[in-house]
Amino acid sequence: MAKRIPRDPRFDNTRALFRDPYGFVAARTRRLGSDVFETRILLRRTLCLSGSQAAALLYDRERFRRRGATPGSVRSTLFGKGGVQGLDDEAHRRRKQMLMSLMTPERVRALAVLAIQQWEGAARQWMTSSRVVLYDELQKVLCRAACAWTGVSLAEAHVSDRTRDLASLYNEAALIPWGHLRARRARRRLERWIGALVGEVRTGRLAVAVDTPIGIVARHTDERGRLLAPRVAAVEVLNLLRPIVALSVYIVSLAHALREHPEWRARIAADPTAAEWFVQEVRRFYPFFPVIFARVRRDFEWHGYAFKRGRRALLDVHGTDHDPRTWEAPEEFRPERFASWREDPFALVPQGGGDHCPGHRCAGEALTLELLKRSLGFLLERLQYEVPNQDLRIDRARLPALPRDRFVVTRVKLLDAAGQASTPRSQATVSSSRAAR
């Protein structure tokens, strides 16, 4: 006879989850002595799971599905309706295959080159500023690079507005009620913008190469051979743009880690392979998105517990990445742990678990790793800056978590290959450039 899944005694834990999004599940699994427990989130009975074994379970496509799993509030802001995150079986396989075709090594390197070019242009302007909020500026850098890479037309006059909307999808979605409403409005504006571009690609009014991401998405057909609805095509293009802009969170985490652990500057300079360890440890150590949703596909038993068909479940991403059964001293920042790490697709899950192609692991993980390694190199070799006194504590009550002052830098200098500072743009040049836009 199956055991009853442990239950948290509170009637509903929505507020508790929002107050402690990165520690909520792990704290209760420890207290209840179980990798799974039941509670209510948004008044719905929800199974909460944590740990690598639980991750492997949740990514078992025979036991869990994604359709109808993600709360509507998340679909209406972060993911959009009709996107790949909510598909299963053949519909998911075909859509995911299309997205994975955009993640070839050549395409990933092309985006990295575009991003570094935008870094350089932005850094020249930062040299004329007395104070730079790195998180805010990186969002614009990545927005420009993402749009150029996908083939999305973006006039310089619209960069700030488009960046603000893309960032709102993940920056404000959890700020109930007003931030969430702003994120919903941003989603509608973005889908109208991209949907119109998709229509122009299809009619030929917007000429893009057939192998550009927006061109591939615009011409993609579903499992029935039909073009995606313009709004759904827009959702998938935004599923390329939004995550790239969101990498500003990880890049600020890189800068924060270099500030907290400056000894790694010399270590990476002496051994370039240490750069990958450093990037992986940032992804493991720093909080980003806290949970992933799924829904039980059929009745089954796991570890003696009965899982009932249709029950919503969530995986504790941050807790799994900090599970002491997998990671020695998980609350310590130790990049060297990855020197001997045997890659486990369910132990390190900042962007999901399992296989990329057939499963729901993030299609853009290789892109993330490449951009972070290039950005780390830029921070170490090309950008000279000072970090003034500020509040650098990571605010774990916000989603995504960030340094409280968003990482301010001053006295920025862009270095050339010889380590010499580049000449900053004069204020007259910057003003003239802005006037021309």
Position 175 confidence tier, pLDDT thresholds 50, 70, 90: confident
Q: Is the pLDDT reported for residue 275 higher than 60?
A: yes
| Average confidence (pLDDT) over 401-418 | 94
Distance of CA 373 to the CA centre of its chain: 15
Q: Which of 167, 215, 157 is nearest to 189 (CA)?
A: 167
| Average confidence (pLDDT) over 383-408 | 96
Instruction: Report which residue type is found at 307.
Output: F
Q: Is 137 helix (H, G, I), strand (E, B) or coil?
A: helix
pLDDT given at position 180? 92
pLDDT mean across residues, the chain: 93
Fold for the domain defined by 70-284+354-436? Cytochrome p450 (1.10.630)
Whole-angstrom distance, CA of residue 379 vs CA of residue 381 = 6
Whole-angstrom distance, CA of residue 314 vs CA of residue 234 = 27
* Residues whose CB is less than 8 angstroms from the CB of residue 104 and which lie 6 or more positions away in sequence, other chains included: none
State the DSSP code for 86.
G
Whole-angstrom distance, CA of residue 7 vs CA of residue 5 = 6
Q: Express each pLDDT in 319-356 by its tens digit.
A: 999 999 999 999 999 999 999 998 899 999 999 999 98
Q: Is the pLDDT reported for residue 430 higher than 50?
A: no
pLDDT given at position 417? 75
* Residues whose CB is less than 8 angstroms from the CB of residue 165 and which lie 6 or more positions away in sequence, other chains included: 186, 189, 190
Q: Which of 108, 126, 127 is nearest to 372 (CA)?
A: 108
pLDDT given at position 436? 35
Q: What is the pTM of this model?
A: 0.94
pLDDT given at position 118? 97
Q: Looking only at Cα atoms, what is the longest distance across the chain?
A: 78
Peptide bond into 388 cis (omega under 30): no
Helix (H) or strand (E) holding 144: helix 134-150
Whole-angstrom distance, CA of residue 333 vs CA of residue 328 = 11
Whether 364 contacts 355, CB under 8 Å: no
pLDDT given at position 343? 87
Q: Which of 268, 300, 266 is nearest to 373 (CA)?
A: 268
Whole-angstrom distance, CA of residue 375 vs CA of residue 93 = 32
Domain boundaries, the chain: 70-284+354-436
